[in-house]
Amino acid sequence: MTPIRTPSPLRPAPAPQRPLRVLLTTDWWEPVVNGVVASVQTLRRELIALGCEVRVLTLSQGIRTRREPDVYRIGSVSAAMVYDRARIGMPASRRVLREILRWRPDVIHSHCEFSTHVWARRIARTLGVPLVHTYHTIYEDYTHYYSPSRTVGRKVVESFSRRVLAGTDAVIVPTAKVAALLRGYGVHRPVHVIPTGLDLQRFRPARSEQERADAAALRAGLGITPQQQVLVSVCRLAKEKNLDEVLDMVAAADREDVVLVLVGDGPYRAELEARAKDLGIARRVRFAGVVEPAEVQRWYRMGDVFVSASLSETQGLTFIEALACGLPLLCHRDPSLASVVLEGRTGWQFEDAAQFTAQLGALLDDPQRRAEMSAAALEHAQATCGAGDFGRGVLEVYRQVSLRRSPRLAGRQAVAA
């Protein structure tokens, strides 16, 4: 007798793979304007373009916790006595935590070492998912804010950095300089060097008559004549940016045809204004103040040369923004700029006033050479500074840490890619 076969139950169709979910955490977010905010915003945009679901956990500008589309803002209080515009998160909001846990991110990517990093560690530990961290700031260059001794301050930074990064699955840094610094601190986590990219459709030289007229109008609005040449610096006016040295260099060069435009504001502005006056160059220095982030490219376009003496940069986004806008760079020598300032091609790095004066003259007194260096700056930026490579590089780090953690997460990573 032939046995009767009962039909086997239909197997449920496999659930479709959902996009990789990434939670970015940062103490800094708009309306604040700084390099961390710019980097995280660029990463968010690129990850979304690569098919990921991305949410941001950050601090509110007040004590109330609130939710915006895909952004959680934790209530916070001012820490301006420690650092201008800094804030400290309030005790955790259970409602926000529950909502994030229900969303179930696959990767947590923290971008600051303080309030939101505590949340990042807690969420990663609760869900058993990877924690990636980007180390944006060389804190030993900020010792004047928290320690009377640079040596003691550096020891504090070493210990703090080791402790914070020990709990991560991987660390991302923007330059080899920062990677070497972390090795010197005794950090033994996997470190990946991934330069922050730019939106090259936005940061570019003026193309139209309207854009060129806008640059001319900005100059005229600052009382700069068509015959004068403009050195532009875009940064927060803070002691660690070493703008005193820029003023000293401009004074030493002693060129009546040159105007220095400082774009930005900060706690050190009054000291810089007083120094410019003491050096006798106040009439050749313009303090433009804060500009809207969406408008900053206009201010690069009104310049002839980008200048900086900062030694506190991990990568220096303003340097590559200037490059992308076609400005040759004239900067204090710093290992972090080795891939940005190609000597004699995209600019120069100076070590003293004599070098600065000679290099400035070589740029400003030879229009053909400046045009060639401007073209080289633009070409180098387009070849090396695109945001697409930045996003794909970070996504590859997620894939690697997910493989180590869980093949299931790696599968989602592959779908997102």
3-state secondary structure of 89: strand
Q: Is it the case that residue 50 has pLDDT exceeding 70?
A: yes
Q: How far is CA 298 from the centre of its chain?
A: 19
Model confidence at 218, pLDDT cuts 50, 70, 90, reads: very high
Q: Is it the case that residue 145 has pLDDT exceeding 60?
A: no
Phi, psi (degrees; rounded to nearest 5) at 110: -95, 150
Q: What is the H or E stretch that residue 385 is in?
A: none
Tell me if 115 sits within 8 A of 59, measured CB to CB. Answer: yes
Tell me if 52 sits within 8 A of 24, measured CB to CB. Answer: no
Q: SS3 for 18-73, per residue? A: CCCEEEEECCCCCCCCCHHHHHHHHHHHHHHHCCCEEEEEEECCCCCCEEECCEEE
Model confidence at 79, pLDDT cuts 50, 70, 90, reads: confident
Average pLDDT over every residue of 42-63: 95
229-234 sheet: strands from edge to edge: 285-289, 258-263, 229-234, 305-308, 329-332, 347-350
Average pLDDT over every residue of 117-131: 96
CATH number of 21-197+387-416: 3.40.50.2000
Fold of 209-384: Rossmann fold (3.40.50)
pTM across the whole model: 0.81
Confirm whether 21-197+387-416 and 209-384 share one CATH topology: yes
Which of these, 336, 384, 310, lies nearest to 177 by C-alpha position?
A: 336
Write out pLDDT tens, residues 341-387.
Answer: 999 999 999 999 999 999 999 999 999 999 999 999 999 999 988 99
Q: Is it the case that residue 130 has pLDDT exceeding 50?
A: yes
Domain assignments of the chain as residue spans, ordered by start: 21-197+387-416, 209-384
Q: Where are the alpha helices (DSSP H) in 199-341?
A: 209-221, 243-253, 269-278, 296-301, 317-324
